[in-house]
Amino acid sequence: MKKGIHPEYYQAKVTCACGNSWTVGSTKKEISLDICSACHPFFTGKQKIVDTAGRVEKFRRKYGIKDKTTEVIDKKKKTKK
Ligand SMILES: [Zn+2]
């Protein structure tokens, strides 16, 4: 390999909003995801909404909808460190 033109290669730790984590080869040290293959609706068969401002919850409260089949991930809460 030619020197000075290639980026650093790391074994990056990937973390998902659902709590799932694994390592992958990447030029970044850390990767954080909102959705992964363990929690994506395509693989789980469950409907899911990534909610950033609590809008889904607000809508449900307003109309008194109690839907347990849909999982809502509150991005605001989960990304807080
Ligand atoms: Zn996930």
Per-chain mean pLDDT for the chain:
82
46: CA distance to ligand 1 center in Å?
Answer: 13
Confidence of residue 29 (pLDDT cuts 50, 70, 90): very high
Neighbours of ion ligand 1 (CB under 5 A): 16, 18, 20, 36, 38-39
Residue 66 Cα to ligand 1 midpoint, Å, equals 24
Tens of pLDDT, residue by residue over 16-26, are 988 999 999 99
CATH 4.10.80.400 correct for 10-78: yes
Supply the DSSP string of 3-71, one letter for each residue: TTSSPP-EEEEEEETTS-EEEEEESSSEEEES--TTT-HHHH---EEEESSSHHHHHHHHHT---SSSE
